[in-house]
Structures are given as C-alpha cells and as structure tokens.
C-alpha cells in the first residue's frame, strides 16, 4: 500500500545523504518535499500540517546540530513522527475480571466486518481464549451463514436467533456464560452509507451488551472517507479502536496515517489479506519502519517462529551446514516459508533490501512452480539429485508441466548452493552448526555469549530458516524468465 510514499521518502533522503551539514534552505526544501509526499499519499491536511510542524521543530533544534550524518538524523526524526501519527504504541487488550469480555464490531457494509469478526475470533483463540461469535447482522441476506462458515473454519461456535439484533446480542451473553466462553464478538449490520437507522441499531446493541471494546472496521482503500466514517461512528459509539482492512491494497495509505490523529482512537488490528491468518496486531513503529524502507525484523521473526518447528529447523540448519541438505529438505522449507505469507510481503520486512529488489514483483506462483518440479521427482531423486539424467528430467518436466531446461536450471542452482555451503563449512563454520553451538562454552549455565559477556537471556537462538530460494536475490527463477 505504501510503495509510492516509500519511494518518495527514499528519493528525499537520498538527495541529502552525504551532506556534512544541512542549511536552513536544505531543511525547508526537505520539509516541502515531505509535505507533498504525505499529501499525495492522501493523508489528512491537518495531520500533514501537524506532522511537518513537529519535524521542523526537531530538525531546526539541537537534534541536528553537529550531526555527522544529517540524512540519518532526519530519517530518525521522520520515523518517530510517522510512528506518532500511526498511534505511537500497539494497543493492548485487557480482559474482563468477570468473563466474558465483550467486543462489538461496527462499520459500513463492505468494509469487512463479518470476515474480520472471524479473523478476530481466531486471534483470540491463539491467545488461549474461548471466543463466541454472535450474528447480530439480521439485515444482510446470508450474513449469519457467512459467519457460521467462518466460525467452522476457525473452530469457534456461532450464536444467532431470528429474534431481532438487540435481543440476540443480549441473549448471547447468557449463552457465553452457559457454555463457558470468555470472549464474545458481536457482528452488527452495516449500510452502504452512514444513516440514522444504522446508528440507532448499533447504539441499542451497544447499550444492551455494554462492550468492553468497540472496534470500527474501516476499509483502507477508501482513503479519507474512512477517516470521515470513523469520526461519525466515534460520536455515536465512543470507539476503542479501529480495525483497518485491505492494508495489502494499492491505495495510497492516507487513512492509516490519519485516523489516529483525527479520531483520537488507535488502530488495534490490521487485515493484510483475504486469508483468515492474514490478520495481526497493529504495530505503529513497525509500519513506520517499513514505510521508510527499513524493514520489519520483529514481524519477520514472529512469522518464522509461528511457521517453523524449532527442532526441525535446527536439524535442517545442521544438514545445510554439513552440505547434506537435500531437495526434500528444500521442499519442506518452501512449504514452511509459504505459511509465513507471500514472498513479496516477506521481502518488504527484510532490512537492507534495495528499492529495486523491493519493487520486483515476485508472484507466489513462481514458488509453486518450483515446488511442482520437486514434487514430480521420486523420493530417491530428491535425496540424490545427481542421479537425474536426461530421461529423468524429461519425465519430471512432463509431470509438472515445465520444460526439461527448467528442471535442469533448478538442479544446477541447487547444486551450486550445496557446493557453496560445503565450502563454507570448510572455513571454520563447524562452530556455527547448531549441533556444536554450545560445545566448549564457559560461563553460567543457560547464559548467552554476547560480545564476550554472558547474559541471562537463555541459549542463543538458531536460525529459524537458513534457506534462500535459488535465484531470489537476482529474480532468476527457473522457467520464469
């Protein structure tokens, strides 16, 4: 979503990079370009004025005086102000002392209320909670059935009765107490536009269930209309937070940068895709870092920890460093990587990735085609790819719908990768092998060595995935060029 804004900031910072000191004229020009970049990203005008004003105060103050690298200092200032505009800190969910914790979902029709009610239910399950979904949208045809389908997919029961939205919401609290559910998520009806009937209904439901959290679901693709909608709902319901949907779209992103400062309510969650697991707690500092092209290592690590089993990752890392990594291992690692999300989104989280590499569109179907080639091999061929001759290549190619040269290219790249790792292992990487990681160490039990010290943070982490897809750095995927 923020590609254009990221490109603009990259251009702004590159022009002042390398200068020994910024003059007042340099600061004025930089702030003018930042203002234009934010306005082009559809950020609210008042928010732009406020943000640029805060950047000016810090840039003209002592923060830049005597700086060896003004570009880095300006980047740091802009990062801080973007984080502030996005909400500052991540929203924390506190649970009711006497269950259930009630969550009310509100928003216009088409924003994704029902889908995100299901996503939120799955998120609560991951936190160890037992949610109940409530279908109080009795106006839209099949809304309850859609919620039941989502509930079945995430393993959460759905309660709904044709007794009116206010009555069904109230009865759901008793149902949650009866069945031992400690979180209740109430899905309400929306309209194509804000009207008195919708607002009255959702207000009556709110009065009936007295929610601990009221979340407004807004579509990031609607730009400033989303901020206007949030303002109107907040006057009626006193929102606790916003769930921003379609954050993976191609809109300019102004809603995300405006809603907190205009409405005064934080973005609690972000929906980054259509899949149920493409939903996460919103971290302002992480998104600000990604907007400035600085990556998002924390989210990348979290996704890796969810996708990779620790013991399997250690064994795979050991085989890779020993030079015994097989195509079977490669296939397993690719399947784990796919669980982390799209390759394009993962590239955006990696720090230090050049703009040119970030802008390269990597279709996940490319990864699927590589996977198809490997799946067309026999178990013996995956373990011993050197037995694959011309006739075997023809058979594998026919099995996956690719050409024999595509198969050969993948095998050649895999062979090169394995040879490199064997050579690397010969240059003292025995210490890096997870099996040998703690051998010969001295210090307190369970301590971690860091810079010659032993800390109390436990054993050093091993890489969750040492895998690098062949051709990923160059975009040279087999059969796709």
Kindly report, residue by residue over 194-250, the tens digit of the pLDDT. 888 888 999 999 999 999 999 999 888 877 788 888 888 888 888 999 999 887 765
Question: Do 3-86 and 308-439+447-455 agree at the fold level?
Answer: no
Phi, psi of 407 (to 5 degrees): -65, -45
Q: What residues contact 222, with CB distance under 8 A and at least 6 apart? A: 229, 251, 255
Are 252 and 223 a contacting pair, CB within 8 Å? yes
pLDDT of residue 63: 58
Domain boundaries, the chain: 3-86, 101-294, 308-439+447-455
CA-based nearest residue to 314, from 232, 434, 447:
434
Helix axis angle, 3-16 relative to 70-86, nearest 10°? 150
Tokens for 318, please give them. Answer: 């050991």
Q: Which CATH superfamily is domain 3-86 in?
A: SRP54, nucleotide-binding domain (1.20.120.140)
pLDDT of residue 304: 57
pLDDT of residue 453: 33
**Ordered alpha helix ranges (H), 180-274:** 196-209, 224-237, 254-263
pLDDT of residue 272: 81
Helix axis angle, 284-291 relative to 3-16, nearest 10°? 60
Are 367 and 343 a contacting pair, CB within 8 Å? yes
Tokens for 353, please give them. Answer: 């990735």
pLDDT of residue 329: 74
Give dist(CA 102, CA 181) in Å, integer.
11
pLDDT of residue 61: 73
Below-70 pLDDT ranges, the chain: 1, 20, 62-68, 249-252, 294-325, 333-365, 420-481
pLDDT of residue 241: 93
Are 299 and 349 a contacting pair, CB within 8 Å? yes
Cα→Cα distances 287→35, 82, 290, 361, 455, Å: 19, 9, 5, 20, 30
pLDDT of residue 350: 54
Kindly report, residue by residue over 105-114, the tens digit of the pLDDT. 999 888 889 9
Q: Strands, E, within 389-429: which ranges?
A: none
Q: Which CATH superfamily is domain 308-439+447-455 in?
A: Signal recognition particle, SRP54 subunit, M-domain (1.10.260.30)
Cα→Cα distances 220→146, 214, 229, 330, Å: 22, 18, 11, 37
pLDDT of residue 174: 94
Q: Which CATH superfamily is domain 101-294 in?
A: P-loop containing nucleotide triphosphate hydrolases (3.40.50.300)
Count CB neighbours of 64 within 10 A: 16
pLDDT of residue 345: 59
pLDDT of residue 250: 56
């Amino acid at each position: 979503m923020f590609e254009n804004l990221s490109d603009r900031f990259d251009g702004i910072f590159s022009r002042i990079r390398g200068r020994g000191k910024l003059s007042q004229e340099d600061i004025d020009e930089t702030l003018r370009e930042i203002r234009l970049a934010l306005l082009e990203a559809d950020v609210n005008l008042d928010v732009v004025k406020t943000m640029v004003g805060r950047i000016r105060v810090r840039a003209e103050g002592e923060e830049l005086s005597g700086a060896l690298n003004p570009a880095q200092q300006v980047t740091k200032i802009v990062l801080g102000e973007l984080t502030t505009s996005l909400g500052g800190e991540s929203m924390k969910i506190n649970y009711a002392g006497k269950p259930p914790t009630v969550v009310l979902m509100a928003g216009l029709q088409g924003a994704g209320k029902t889908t995100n009610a299901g996503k939120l239910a799955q998120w609560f399950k991951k936190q160890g909670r037992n949610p109940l979904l409530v279908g109080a949208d009795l106006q839209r045809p099949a809304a309850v059935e859609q919620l039941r389908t989502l509930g079945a997919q995430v393993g959460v029961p759905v309660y709904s009765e044709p007794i009116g939205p206010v009555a069904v919401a109230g009865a759901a609290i008793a149902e949650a107490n009866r069945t031992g559910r400690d979180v209740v998520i109430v899905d309400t009806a929306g309209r194509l536009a804000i009207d008195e009937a919708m607002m009255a209904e959702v207000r009556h439901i709110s009065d009936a269930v007295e929610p601990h959290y009221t979340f407004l679901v807004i579509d990031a693709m609607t730009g400033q209309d989303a901020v206007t909608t949030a303002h109107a709902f907040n006057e009626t319901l006193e929102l606790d937070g916003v769930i921003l949907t379609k954050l993976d779209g191609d809109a300019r992103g102004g809603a995300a940068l405006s809603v907190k400062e205009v409405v005064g309510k934080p973005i609690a969650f972000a929906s980054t895709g259509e899949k149920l697991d493409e939903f996460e707690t919103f971290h302002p500092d992480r998104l600000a870092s990604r907007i400035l092209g600085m990556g998002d290592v924390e989210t990348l690590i979290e996704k890796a920890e969810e996708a990779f089993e620790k013991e399997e990752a250690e064994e795979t890392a050991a085989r890779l460093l020993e030079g015994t990594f097989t195509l079977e291992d490669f296939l397993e690692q690719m399947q784990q990587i796919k669980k982390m999300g799209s390759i394009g989104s993962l590239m955006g989280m990696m720090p230090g990735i050049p703009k040119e590499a970030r802008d390269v569109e990597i279709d996940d179907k490319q990864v699927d085609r590589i996977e198809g080639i490997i799946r067309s091999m026999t178990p013996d061929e995956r373990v011993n790819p050197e037995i694959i001759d011309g006739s075997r290549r023809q058979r594998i190619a026919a099995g996956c719908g690719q050409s024999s040269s595509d198969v050969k290219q993948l095998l050649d790249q895999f062979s090169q990768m394995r040879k490199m790792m064997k050579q690397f292992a010969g240059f003292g990487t025995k210490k890096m092998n997870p099996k040998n990681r703690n051998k010969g160490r001295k210090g307190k039990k369970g301590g971690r060595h860091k810079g010659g010290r032993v800390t109390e943070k436990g054993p050093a982490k091993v890489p969750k995935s040492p895998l690098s897809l062949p051709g990923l750095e160059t975009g040279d995927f087999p059969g796709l060029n």
